[in-house]
Structure 1
Amino acid sequence: MDPLSGHAVQYETLPWDADLAVKLPSDVLADAEDASREVTRFDAEVGGEIAPFSSVLLRTESAASSNIENLTASVRAIAEAELPGAKTTANAKVIVANTAAMVAAINLADNIDADAILAMHEALMRDADPKSAGRWREEQVWIGRSAHGPRGAMFVPPHHSRVGEAIDDLLRFTQRDDIPALPQISLAHAQFETIHPFTDGNGRTGRALIQAMLRRKGLTRNVTVPVSAGLLTDTDSYFAALTAYREGDSAPIVRRVSEAAVAAVLNGRELVNELHTVRAKWNDRISARSDSAVWRIADLLLRRPVINTALLTEELGIESKHARRYLEPLSAAGITIETSSGPRSRVWRSPEVIAALDAFAERARRGGLRR
């Protein structure tokens, strides 16, 4: 106990053994099982129409995970940051990088090892901090109080010399098949955050690891269930659960991740329903031949609500010189609004899709939906 702050200062990971016996209250295990079924059911529902919702849900997860770290940007700014050649806010660029980390996590889910975790972190941090991207930390770090030393810190992770060993032990734990999936994922996430293996980006990488493990354990096969959006509904309890884990109580983090998964499914289902409604209304407003590229652009807008001619070439193979021919019917129908994002740079955005994504984010911030 630090005498100046009264906070516990911890320099080591909890006594941790890859073969440790996992003992949780029966109600926590039951809630985790219910949450697992909800995640699997939602994945099956949306998986039947994987485009565009897999992309939308991936981006909402990335934005919510960043928001937990107080990295915020509007849906419109994030969408503009993804455009080829775009110039936008620093936070939006960071959130786009988090999407890259999520993609890396999912692509590497079949083989979650140390190299996979480093690849997730490299995708996240390559622009923000290229020197540390994809590298275990080589210095002591701490959370809270002074920037000059660990005295009074709320938490001090293990010495950097122990990071590699601790990660290897954690990975052995993730390979066990005798623990229910969601409790195992929750505990692995908490232990990763306790090891704190990087100088920056630990929270976002740790939540990307959740997505990789959901895929690896078979709870998801098609889409990214935005668990971070569920955690965002009550970040205080999430951080308190991590603290409780470090003090020896594993139940709160399992309970919190289970709650977050259910909240994510409810919010994600609402978002998908809203986007279905938006797209159905467009069918009555668009005047174009059935084989026109206008319809393909309309579908693209559901997952990329801000577009430019370079994106149309990249995604749909539409040459820039022909783009306006297909964009004008959408503008005439009030589906898109044309604006400038810089000198000689025109973009088209869908206010209805952006509104649906804004509503999703607002539900996450204010506490989500209730069953």
Structure 2
Amino acid sequence: MSTVSLRVPPIELETHQWHAEQDGMSSRAQLARGSGPYESAVPPKIANLQLEVPALLAADVEDAVSALVRFDNHARDRLGTSSPMLGPMSSILLRTESSSSSQIENLTVGARQLALAELNQSTSANAMSVSANVHAMEAALELADRVDRAAILTMHEKLLLGQKDWESHAGRFREQLVWIGSTGTSPRGATFVAPRYELVEDLIEDLVEFVSRDDLPVLVQVAIAHAQLETIHPFVDGNGRTGRALVHALLRGKGLVRSTTAPLSAGLLKNTNRYFEALMSYRAGDAGPICEQFAAASRFAAHSGAGLIDKLGLELDAARGALAGLRPQAMAWALLPHLVSHPVMNTELVTGLLGTSQTSALRALAQLQDAGVVVERSGYKRNRVWQHDGILAVLDGYAAELLRA
């Protein structure tokens, strides 16, 4: 339950007529019920939205911002600003965040399958979809300094190009009606019917103007921008994941989280019902619940993300200890930091990471294997893969904790 309200203009509704067409599975009675009037959303423009943030909400948001800043500093302190591990650690947090964002859409995948998907060695459709979500998040961070129409389309393109049978919709605003709930043949009775597609372009331009403002509390601005994108629902599919990628682009672009990726979706995943209820409240004219959800998710992300960093750091510390007798020039030392973001490796990946030959890559993997740091799990003579069981266990343990919560 929300404790404070933050008034914003509610959506309006416009009435249309729908004629349900036969899909090969519906009865005549179902088609008759599916035909008739329905209402679609008309979101308000928010570029010039004036907000009076209640003191209680402002304090809650400020606490959440402080937690995110502490988390970002902890990442730097734990790994060192010049450490090559800071990049990989940020990458694994990005993958963790992408997985959590996908779980909200009921797309679940283990850490090993996601890592194999990154190597193009997974047959799991879910793993490929979550891997595409990783690429969408990466695009969001790369485009953080210019969140505009093109950036939003690029995030979506990266996402849907990895989703089988949806490639033709990648990076394109929809040109059809979409709705949530009800049946596939009719919007009548749906939980939410998105705006007519003719309105999308103008609404996106308005949203871009809103996120460019610098006169609003950042986390409030991020929460409202996310809710507005979900209300516009500009794509045939992938709206939620693109909307959460947008969140990270804004957090980075506004300077809130500079060094790594806070697992914010992990916080939203703790109670998806409240998250979706908060979106509905926003559409009804109250942004308080969605701002509270983002504040709570930020605090959870900071706390759990710091714990995840510490556990992964301990795995690397143990690996360094296992390599203690190896000569300093050995390739294994150069490969070691990359285990965080790539807990499953093959020789092709290692050659790219280290800029070396396949022979040298194989030698580095053999050195790690001989020290007990990684194991070869495929059992193949060709297309072999090596993995760090400890890091995979930490990542799967984190995911399991989220689901239990």
Q: TM-score, normalised by structure 2?
A: 0.85
Choose which of 167, 184, 206 in structure 1 pairs with 2:221: 184
* Structure 1 residue 343 displacement after superposition: 7.2
Contact 2:65–2:256 (CA under 8 A) maintained in structure 1 = yes
Unaligned runs of 5+ in 1: none
What do residues 189-213 of structure 1 show as CA deviations (whole Å, max 9, x unaligned)?
Answer: 0000000000000000000000001
1:257 aligns with 2:257: no
Contact 1:267–1:364 (CA under 8 A) maintained in structure 2 = no
- Structure 2 Cα separation of the partners of residues 124 and 156 of structure 1: 23
Alignment of 1:83-98 (within 5 A): 83=119, 85-98=120-133
Partner of 1:106: 141
Unaligned runs of 5+ in 2: 1-12, 16-32
- Structure 2 Cα separation of the partners of residues 195 and 254 of structure 1: 18
Name the SS of the counterpart of 1:345 in structure 2: coil
Residues 10 and 178 (structure 1), Cα distance of their counterparts in 2 relative to 1, 3 Å cut: farther
Residues 343 and 159 (structure 1), Cα distance of their counterparts in 2 relative to 1, 3 Å cut: farther
1:313 aligns with 2:342: no
Partner of 2:75: 46
Residues 110 and 335 (structure 1), Cα distance of their counterparts in 2 relative to 1, 3 Å cut: same
Contact 1:98–1:204 (CA under 8 A) maintained in structure 2 = yes
* Structure 1 residue 320 displacement after superposition: 1.8
- Structure 1 Cα separation of the partners of residues 394 and 175 of structure 2: 43
Contact 2:207–2:225 (CA under 8 A) maintained in structure 1 = yes
- Structure 1 Cα separation of the partners of residues 145 and 360 of structure 2: 41
- Structure 2 Cα separation of the partners of residues 94 and 33 of structure 1: 34
Choose which of 42, 61, 64 in structure 1 pairs with 2:100: 64
Residues 250 and 10 (structure 1), Cα distance of their counterparts in 2 relative to 1, 3 Å cut: farther
* Structure 1 residue 309 displacement after superposition: 0.6
Partner of 2:338: 300
Residues 361 and 341 (structure 1), Cα distance of their counterparts in 2 relative to 1, 3 Å cut: farther
Name the SS of the counterpart of 1:15 in structure 2: coil
Q: TM-score, normalised by structure 1?
A: 0.93
- Structure 1 Cα separation of the partners of residues 281 and 55 of structure 2: 18
Partner of 2:30: none
1:202 aligns with 2:239: yes
Moved over 6 A (4+): none
Name the SS of the counterpart of 2:59 in structure 1: helix
Residues 291 and 10 (structure 1), Cα distance of their counterparts in 2 relative to 1, 3 Å cut: farther
Greater radius of gyration (CA): 2
Partner of 2:44: 15
The 10-residue stretch of structure 1 (326-335 or 232-241) with the greater mean CA deviation from structure 2: 326-335
Contact 1:13–1:194 (CA under 8 A) maintained in structure 2 = no
Contact 2:70–2:302 (CA under 8 A) maintained in structure 1 = no
Contact 2:113–2:122 (CA under 8 A) maintained in structure 1 = no
Name the SS of the counterpart of 1:55 in structure 2: helix
Identity rate, percent? 44
What do residues 41-85 of structure 1 show as CA deviations (whole Å, max 9, x unaligned)?
Answer: 2112213352321111111111111111001111000001111x4
Partner of 2:27: none
The 10-residue stretch of structure 1 (335-344 or 196-205) with the greater mean CA deviation from structure 2: 335-344
* Structure 1 residue 342 displacement after superposition: 6.5
Name the SS of the counterpart of 2:377 in structure 1: strand
Name the SS of the counterpart of 2:193 in structure 1: coil
Amino acid at match of 1:258: A
- Structure 2 Cα separation of the partners of residues 35 and 149 of structure 1: 41
Name the SS of the counterpart of 2:192 in structure 1: coil
Amino acid at match of 1:111: R
Contact 1:25–1:251 (CA under 8 A) maintained in structure 2 = no
- Structure 1 Cα separation of the partners of residues 167 and 66 of structure 2: 39
Alignment of 1:1-371 (within 5 A): 11-47=40-76, 48=81, 49=83, 50-83=86-119, 85-128=120-163, 129-286=166-323, 287-340=325-378, 344-367=382-405
